[in-house]
Structure 1
Amino acid sequence: MSERRSARQVLALLADPGSFRELPAPAGESAPDGPLGWRGYDASRARAAERTGEAESVVCGTARVAGTDAVLIAFEFGFLGGSLGERTGDRLVAAHAHARAHRLPVVPLIATGGSRMQEGMLALTQLQRVARESALTRRAGLPQIAVLRDPTTGGGWATLGAGADVVLALPGAQVGFAGSRVRPPDADPAAYTAEAQVAAGSADAVVAPDRLKEVLGTWLRLLTAPAAGAPVPEALGAAGPPATGWEAVTAARDPRRPRAGAYLDSLFDRRVLISGDRCGGTDPDGMLCGFGERDGRSVAFAAQTGTATRPAGYRTAARLIRLADRLGVPVLTLVDTPGAANGADAERQGAGAAIAEVFQAVADARVPLATLVIGEGGSGGALALAAPGNTWATPDSYFSVIAPELAAAILKRPPEQVEATAGQLRIRPQDLVELGVVRGIVGPAHHPRPPATRRPPPG
Structure 2
Amino acid sequence: MPSEREPARELIGRVASAFTELRHDHTLSEVDGPLGWPGYGEQLTRAADLTGESESVVCGLARIGDVTAVVVAFEFGFLGGSLGTRTGARIEQAFTHARELRVPVVSLVATGGSRMQEGTLALMQLPRIARQITLTREAGLPHISVLRDPTTGGGWATLGAGADVVLGLHGAQVGFAGSRVRPPGYSVTQQFAAGLVDQLVEPDELRARLERWLHLLTTPGNGPAPVPPALGATTLPETGWEAVRRARAPERPRAGQYLAAYFDWLEPVSGDRSGGVDPGVLCGFGHRDGRTIAYAAQDGTATRPAGFRTAARLVRLADRLGIPVLTLVDTPGAANDEAAENAGVGAAIADMFTAVAAARVPVTTLLIGEGGSGGALAFAAPGRTWATPDSYLAVISPELAAAILKRDPAQEKETADRLRLRPQDLAELGIAQLGPSADQATAMYRNASSELGTQMVTRPTTP
If the TM-score is normalised by the length of the shorter chain, which range does it land in? over 0.9
Superposition RMSD in Å: 1.5
What per-residue deviation string (whole Å, max 9, x for no partner) do you get for residues 152-189 of structure 1? 00000000000001100111101000011111xxx6x3
Q: Does 1:421 align with 2:420?
A: no
**Structure 1 pair 99–404 and aligned structure 2 pair: CA distance change class (3 A):** same
Q: 1:246 maps to what in 2?
A: 241
- Tell me which of 247, 267, 272 is aligned to 1:272: 267
The normalised TM-score by structure 2 is: 0.95
Q: Does the 8 A contact of 1:367 with 1:454 survive in 2?
A: no
Q: 1:338 maps to what in 2?
A: 332
3-state SS in 1 of match to 2:48? helix
**For 1:21 and 1:119, how far apart are their aligned partners in 2?**
29
Q: 1:148 maps to what in 2?
A: 147
Q: Does the 8 A contact of 2:57 with 2:90 survive in 1?
A: yes
Report how far residue 32 of structure 1 moved.
2.1
Q: Does 1:201 align with 2:202?
A: no
**For 1:444 and 1:422, how far apart are their aligned partners in 2?**
30
**For 2:366 and 2:314, how far apart are their aligned partners in 1?**
17
Report how far residue 64 of structure 1 moved.
1.1
Report how far residue 455 of structure 1 moved.
6.5
For 1:26-65, what aligned pairs fall within 5 Å after superposition?
Answer: 26-65=25-64
3-state SS in 2 of match to 1:452? helix
The normalised TM-score by structure 1 is: 0.96
**For 1:280 and 1:152, how far apart are their aligned partners in 2?**
18
**For 2:23 and 2:10, how far apart are their aligned partners in 1?**
19
For structure 1, the residue ranges without an aligned partner over 5 or more in a row are: none
Report how far residue 66 of structure 1 moved.
1.6
Q: 1:9 maps to what in 2?
A: 10
Report how far residue 2 of structure 1 moved.
6.0
**For 1:11 and 1:106, how far apart are their aligned partners in 2?**
13
Read off the aligned partner of 1:63 and give its amino acid letter: A
**For 1:55 and 1:257, how far apart are their aligned partners in 2?**
60
Q: 2:216 maps to what in 1?
A: 222
For structure 2, the residue ranges without an aligned partner over 5 or more in a row are: 458-463
**For 2:204 and 2:50, how far apart are their aligned partners in 1?**
27
Q: Does the 8 A contact of 1:2 with 1:170 survive in 2?
A: no
Q: Does the 8 A contact of 1:236 with 1:444 survive in 2?
A: no
**For 1:375 and 1:415, how far apart are their aligned partners in 2?**
23
Report how far residue 250 of structure 1 moved.
0.6
Runs of 4+ in 1 over 3 A off after TM superposition: 26-29, 450-456
Report how far residue 453 of structure 1 moved.
5.2
Q: Does the 8 A contact of 1:377 with 1:399 survive in 2?
A: yes
Q: Give the aligned length.
A: 449
3-state SS in 2 of match to 1:131? helix
What per-residue deviation string (whole Å, max 9, x for no partner) do you get for residues 125-162 of structure 1? 00111000000000000001000000000000000000
**For 2:276 and 2:259, how far apart are their aligned partners in 1?**
23
Q: Does the 8 A contact of 1:107 with 1:146 survive in 2?
A: yes
For 1:388-407, what aligned pairs fall within 5 Å after superposition?
Answer: 388-407=382-401
Report how far residue 446 of structure 1 moved.
2.4
Read off the aligned partner of 2:272 and give its amino acid letter: D
Q: 2:101 maps to what in 1?
A: 102
3-state SS in 1 of match to 2:275? coil
The percent identity for this pair of structures is 65
